[in-house]
Structure 1
Amino acid sequence: MVRKDMEKEIEKCECDIIHEDAVIKAKAEMYDDEQLMDVADVFKIFSDFTRVKILNVLFNNELCVCDIAYILGMSKSSISHQLRILKQANLVKNRREGKVVYYSLADSHVETIFNEGISHINE
């Protein structure tokens, strides 16, 4: 829904002409539907505040569930649930050391995606 105060800023196209060359070029450059669905799924993961906070705390730290729960002031159960989702999405990885399971970012792309979001909102 567009706010009334923003309606003035939105330009409306008043033509009914299809610009064939531009359409052909744009369609040729599009990713396939499966790739686009995968991208949408990744961004869904980033849409949860708790998951974003977990990713943020794991930027430079390898932590166990207890550590993350303490830092974020949440229950181990809720952190474990979110870590499961992040792991299924290949955004975090884990390693076991005895009885302790440590979590870290899966790779540098996770932090890059996050930082691009921060950069965009700070623009």
Structure 2
Amino acid sequence: MTVLHRQLPGRPGKTPAQDDACEVKCVHPGAVEVARALQPQDSCVERATTLLKLVGDPTRLRLLSALKARELCVCDLAAVVGLSESAVSHQLRLLRAGRVVTFRKQGRVAYYRLLDHHVTVLIESTLEHAAE
């Protein structure tokens, strides 16, 4: 079986995969040592990737975006994202378990908000980056 690769314009004989790789084998021990020393602990990486997976869902990102400005009740959030209250409650349970949102009860109404400033910055930065 023959595999055809798209060549890069202005780079005869180079495919995109080849262009992303080093052309010579050269390891910089000092740079590798510094980069390894700066690696986060495995447990931190696990928690961070779990957080990013939670935020990476389109419905949950819409909910979080709605909560950037102020706390909202489940009914209001359902109206904002155009889903049933049941579906929104399910997503909010996941976000609460992942420590992304918190809530307070006022009578029979649950009001949700982003857990802390870190989450607010994450959502704002993500949306800002995507808009560029």
TM-score of the two chains, using structure 1 as the length reference: 0.87
Q: Which structure 2 segments of 5+ residues have no match?
A: 9-15
Q: Which moved more, 1:53-62 or 1:79-88?
A: 53-62
2:121 partner amino acid = T
What's the counterpart of residue 56 of structure 2?
A: 47
Give the direction of change, closer, same or farther, for the CA distance of 1:8–1:37 in structure 2 (3 Å limit).
closer
Q: Where does structure 1 differ by over 6 angstroms across 4 or more consecutive aligned residues? A: none
Please state how far the C-alpha of 1:9 moved relative to its aligned partner.
Answer: 8.9
Give the direction of change, closer, same or farther, for the CA distance of 1:85–1:12 in structure 2 (3 Å limit).
same
Write the mapping of 1:1-123 to structure 2, written as runs, cut at 5 A: 4=6, 7=16, 10-123=19-132
Q: Could you list the per-position Cα deviations for residues 19-68 of structure 1 after superposition, in whole angstroms to 9, with x for gaps in the alignment?
A: 21111111111111111111111110111011001111111222211111
CA–CA distance in 2 between the matches of 1:5 and 1:66?
53
CA–CA distance in 2 between the matches of 1:57 and 1:117?
14
Give the direction of change, closer, same or farther, for the CA distance of 1:5–1:44 in structure 2 (3 Å limit).
farther
TM-score of the two chains, using structure 2 as the length reference: 0.82
Query: Which structure would you say has the larger Rg?
Result: 2
Please tell me the root mean square deviation across aligned C-alpha atoms, in Å: 2.1
